[in-house]
Amino acid sequence: MAGKTMEFKTEVSRLLDIVIHSLYSNKDIFLRELISNASDAIDKVRYEGLTDPSKYEGGTDWKIKLTADKTAGTLTVSDNGIGMDYDEVIRTLGTIAHSGTKEFMKMLEEKKGQDAVELIGQFGVGFYSAFMVADKVTVVTRKAGTGDNDAVKWESAADGKFTIEKTEKAARGTDVILHLREDDKKYLEEWTLRELVRKYSDYIEHPVVMDIERSKTDADGKPTDEKEIKEETINSRKAIWLRDKSEITKEEYDDFYKHITHDFTAPMRTIHFKVEGTQEFSALLYIPERRPFDIIYKEYKSGPMLYVKRVQIMEHCEELLPPYLRFVKGVVESNDLPLNISREILQNNRHIEVMKKAVTKRVLDAIADMKKNDYDSFVKFSKEFGRILKEGLHYDFERRQTIADLLLFQSTKTEDGKFTSLDDYFMRMKPEQEEIYYILAASRAEAEASPYLEGLKERDIEVLIMTDDIDDIVISSLGEFKGKKFKSVAKGDITLGEADKEEKEKKKEEFGKLIEFVKDRLKDKVEDVRLSSRLKDSAVCLVAGDTDFDPHIEQMMKAMGEPYMKGKRTMEINPDHILFKEMNALFEKDKDAPELADYADILYDQALILEGAKPVDAGAFARRISALMARAIAK
C-alpha cells in the first residue's frame, strides 16, 4: 500500500510550534516522555495478555531499548508493548485527544516564556516532545496480536503534515526513531543517555536497556583487544517505596537514601508508608543524620521527589512538605495525579493537600516516637534540626502545640549541653508559679550572667534559656503551653506569689520617697521606677514593657542596622541591696544632698550596661565614677 500524506489537526501544528519554540530549555524531558509511553504500552499488553494469550506472541521479556546510531544520527526508543494499528496511529499521533484543547491553545498563545512552559506542563506534550530534539520522527509500530505485514510506519518533520503507510515489522511493539537535530547529537552519547535514564526513569519497572560495546575479558578477567556487544540494563528498576516494608532490609533503605541524597552517612530515621483507599500513594522519607550543608542557602531545594505511576515528575516537590520540615528527603508516589503536572496546579491540588497532610503528620509522629523511644537520637535530632522545626510554631498554627512538644531547650536547671522539653519544665513548675519564664540571650553564659535571673534563681524557679535567632518570634507565636503563658524575664513586672506581693508593699512604704526622687531625676530617660523581684546581687536593672521588643532583640537589631523603636524602659531597683539602704538613709537625713542626683544618674548608666547597652554619655559616666572614687578614697 502506498504511503499517504495527511495534515495534522490545526491544534497539533500549533502545539508542536509551541513545544519546539518554548520548551527548548527543558529538552531533556523528551526521553522521559518516550520511555514513559513505552512503559505504559508494555503495561497494557501485559494486562491484555492475561485474558488473551495471543497478545503475548513474541514473548513476555518486557523491555525498552535505546539504540543510538551515530552514523545515521538517530536515537531509537523501542518497546515490545501493545503497539498501534493504522487507525490508532492516525488518531493518536495526528490529533490531541484532550478535551478543552482549543481553549488551552488560545491561552498558550497568549502566554509567553516561562508561563507557557508551566501551562504546557499541565496539559502534557508527551509524544510531541520528541520534536524538541528531532527534526524528523519516524514511528514503526505493530499491534499485539497482528501479523508481520500489518505494521504501520508514521513519519513527520513537524511541518504541518505526516505520512503514514503499511510496513513490515518482525515483532510486536513500537520503535520511535528520532532523527536528531545537529545541535542535539549529544543524545547519542552513552553517558548522556545513562544520565538521563538514571535521573528520570531509574525506577521504571521495566528494564531500559542499551547495547554497550566492551572489551572482551580473558580467562583471568583481564580486558583483551577483542570487542563484544552486550545488552545492559541501565535503570535500577527498584521502586523500593512500592515494596512491602517487611521485605526491605535496613541496608536497602540506607542505600536508597544515599543514592538519592549523595550523603555518605546513613539516615537518622526512615519513614515508609502507604495509603490506600480513595486516594493511593506511597511515601519513603528520611530524616538525615546531619543537617544538609546547603540547607542555609537560598538555592536549597526542599521537598521529596514526586513520582506519578512510576515516572519521576519532579526532583523536589516542595508542595509536599511544610518549610519547617525542609530537611526531610525521600520520594512520594501518587496514583491519582496526572503525569504532566505543573507547579501551578500543584499549589491548589486536592491530592497534593491530602498527601502533604499525611506526610507532615508521619514525620512529626516519627520525631515524637524518637523522643519517646530513642531519646539519644532525639537529642541529636534537636541539635541538628530543632532550629528549623521551631519555625513551625510560627507558620503552622494548627500544629503548633504538637511541634512545641517536640522541642528541646536549655534552662537554668539543665547542665551545659543538656536539654529539657517544655513538658518536663511544666512538671517542675512551682505550685505558685503562673508563667513559664524564659530569657533570650546570645549564649548560655550571657544568660547566666544576666541580672534578670537573680531573683528567680534565688527562689529556685527554672528559666528557659533561648539562644536561637528566631526564639523571640516563635515563642510569641506559641504564646502558651498547657495553659501557662510564656514570660520573658526581661519584660514587664514579675511578682512571685502572694508573699512576694506583701513584701513589696512593705518595702514600698520604706523606700517610697527615694523612689519618687529617682523617678523625677530620670523622668526623661525611663518610663517608671519600681521595686524589683528579679534582683538579688545587682542593685538595678532596666525592664522592657510587656509589648516592647525584648532588650536582647533590640541589641540584635541595632547590630544589624535594622530600624526599630526603642521602648522606654522601667528601672527596677533592688530594695535588699546595701546601696539602697545607704541611699535611703542619706535621703532621709538630707533630701537635698547633691550626691543623690549623681547617684541616680550612675544607677541608670549601670543598668544600661547590665542590659548590654552603653551609657548614652560615656564621658559624663566616667567623670561621675571618678568623682565617686575620689570621694571614697579621701574618706
Q: List interacting residues with ligand ADP (CB under 6 A).
A: 33, 37-38, 41, 79, 81-84, 92, 124, 126-127, 174
Min separation Cβ 74 and ligand ADP, Å: 16
| Closer CB to ligand ADP, 351 or 534, in the complex | 351
C-alpha cell at 288: 538525615
- The three state secondary structure string of 424-492 is HHHHHCCCCCCEEEEEECCCHHHHHCCHHHHHHHHCCCCEEEECCCCHHHHHHHHCEECCEEEEECCEC
Minimum separation from the CB atom of position 325 to ligand ADP (A): 32
CB nearer ligand ADP, residue 81 or residue 322: 81
Alpha-carbon distance values, 275 to 14, 100, 272, 471 (Å): 40, 32, 10, 36
- Determine the residue with CB nearest ligand ADP: 126
Please state whether beta strands 74-79 and 134-142 pair in parallel, antiparallel, or not at all (unpaired): unpaired
For the chain, the helix, strand and coil percentages under 3-state DSSP, each to the nearest 5: 45, 20, 35
Q: Which helix (H) or strand (E) holds 113?
A: helix 113-123
Rounded (5°) CA angle 578-580-582? 70
Beta carbon nearer to ligand ADP, 179 or 487: 179
Nearer CB in complex with ligand ADP: 84/346: 84
Under 8 Å between Cβ of 538 and 614: no
Q: Return the number of the residue (310 or 399) whose C-beta is nearest ligand ADP.
A: 310
Task: Show the beta-strand stretches assigned E in 120-169.
Answer: 134-142, 151-156, 161-167
Burial class (CB in 10 A: 0-12, 13-18, 19+), 619: exposed
Rounded to a whole number of angstroms, the minimum distance from the CB of residue 174 to ligand ADP is 4
Residue 101 phi, psi dihedral angles, 5° rounding: -60, -45
Cell, residue 22: 518554548
Determine if residue 113 is left, alpha or beta; phi over 0 gives left, psi from -120 to 50 gives alpha, anything else beta: left
Residue 176 CB, shortest distance to ligand ADP, in Å, is 6
What pairs with residue 332 in β-bridges?
283, 306
> Which residue in this structure is represented by grid cell 535530632?
381
- Asked whether the beta carbons of 312 and 205 are under 8 A apart, the reply is no
The smaller minimum CB distance to ligand ADP, of residues 311 and 359, is found at: 311
Instruction: State the virtual CA torsion across 345, 348, 352, 355 in degrees, nearest 10.
Output: 170
**At 347, which amino acid appears?**
Q
Whichever of 127 and 273 has its CB closer to ligand ADP, that residue is: 127
| CB closer to ligand ADP, 126 vs 497 | 126
90 vs 275, beta carbon nearer ligand ADP: 90
Cβ distance 164 to 6 under 8 Å?
Answer: yes
Rank residues 126 and 207 by Cβ distance to ligand ADP and give the closer one.
Answer: 126
